[in-house]
Amino acid sequence: MQKLLPRLLSNPPKHSFSYFFSHSFSKTTYDPPFSPISKPPKPKPKPPDLTPNRNPTPIKSSLPFDFRHSYSETDPTLEPIGFREPKRFSPFGPGRLDREWTGTSAPVRDQLDSCLVEEESIRVLGDPLTEEEIEELVEKHRHSDCARQTNLGKNGVTHNMLDDIHNHWKRAEAVRIKCLGVPTLDMDNVCFQLEEKSGGKIIYRHINILILYWGRNYDPQNRPVIPLMLWKPYPPIYPKLVKNIADGLTFEETKEMRNRGLHSPALMKLMRNGVYVNVVARVREAFETEEVIRLDCIHVGKSDCKRIDVKLRDLAPCVPILFKDEQIILWRGKRDQERNSDISDANEKSSGT
């Protein structure tokens, strides 16, 4: 018995160790030597303090014109009949501009003297460029790989585009402008708005490519303050473009004119974001022999078709009588009667004298 006892103690059974560990560590947490160390939780970032930005200082701009989303594609004389959003929603952001938003524009608060404004623009432009200087600038900026280029799309000369032009003028004395879409119907208006709103001078114009020069005395460090629009405002509601009965026609005559236009061959086929420089001239030429014409705008888009309708109504001029399935039907109006009345009035005046 004495011989067996030390042998049992020297070789204890395995189940005795498991029983010892299970009972000795049951009430405590067992932590093996190679267990992964738990990382401390990351502190949550503090929310930014918006207290100093709640009442930002309004931006004051000395530009002498009303701020609009688009200067070339809107008519300031045409009053809308309704708005799609409240007037208090200014696209410049709440409290960021010292001008009130009227739904279509942000008018100037203090009217400036037009003579002083004109004198300042003349001073910035300085002396006219010589032919050699113009040729050098044109050769530098007229190519498609020019780095100083901004694009003019269907919204025309927009307010934020003015800031892009002045940003290009920081590093170059001229900027190349590529025009596409509906504004190319009236390139004269585009050039006028660019020169008036930016203060520069267009020194090159070829089809839809323009080069805008900054002027001899332009200082990029003293550029005008141009507050940016944070979003595009909803366009207001204007009167109906196409009337049920055209002015000067009866219902039956209007219906007959529409049928003639739908079954006539298309004068032109317009593409989306195309160059429409020669469309007005083609329409005027067609109205010399035709009374009703049709324009195929199936790839242009509904919104752009309406813009084209408005432009042609004022530029041709003509009367839009139908807009269906992206087909524009235009009527030239009663021009023969107007000419006959003008001739008769001239004859009466000559006979009276």
Q: pLDDT by residue (tens digit) across 67-103?
A: 999 999 998 888 899 999 998 889 999 889 999 999 9
What are the start-end ranges of the H helices in the chain? Answer: 4-10, 14-24, 114-125, 131-141, 159-168, 187-198, 251-262, 279-286, 302-315, 335-352
Question: Among 21-30, 51-60, 168-177, 338-347, where is mean pLDDT lowest?
Answer: 338-347
Q: Which tens digit of pLDDT belongs to each residue from 31-68?
A: 556 556 666 777 777 776 555 555 668 888 889 999 99
Rounded distance between C-alpha atoms, residue 166 and residue 96, angstroms: 21
Quick check: 105 and 158 in contact, CB under 8 A?
A: no
Q: What is the pLDDT of residues 267-322, one digit of tens each?
A: 999 999 999 999 999 999 999 999 999 999 988 988 899 999 999 999 999 999 99
- 100 contacts: CB under 8 Å, gap ≥ 6: 90, 106, 107
Q: Are 261 and 321 in contact (CB under 8 A)?
A: yes
Q: Mention every residue, 6+ apart, whose C-beta is less than 8 A from residue 203.
A: 129, 134, 137, 138, 174, 211, 212, 213
Structural domains of the chain, ranges and CATH numbers in brackets: 67-213 (3.30.110.60), 240-331 (3.30.110.60)
DSSP lists the bridge partners of residue 181 as: 275
Q: What is the mean pLDDT of residues 147-162?
A: 94
Give the pLDDT of residue 53. 52
Output helix, strand, coil percentages for the chain, rounded to the nearest 5: 35, 15, 50
The whole-angstrom separation of Cα 234 and Cα 82 is 11
Helix (H, G, I), strand (E, B) or coil at 118: helix
Q: What DSSP character marks residue 127?
A: S
Question: Of the candidates 311, 271, 267, which has an alpha carbon nearest to the alpha carbon of residue 291?
Answer: 267
Give pTM, 2 decimals: 0.78
* Residue in the structure block whose two tokens are 């009367």: 319
Rounded distance between C-alpha atoms, residue 320 and residue 75, angstroms: 18
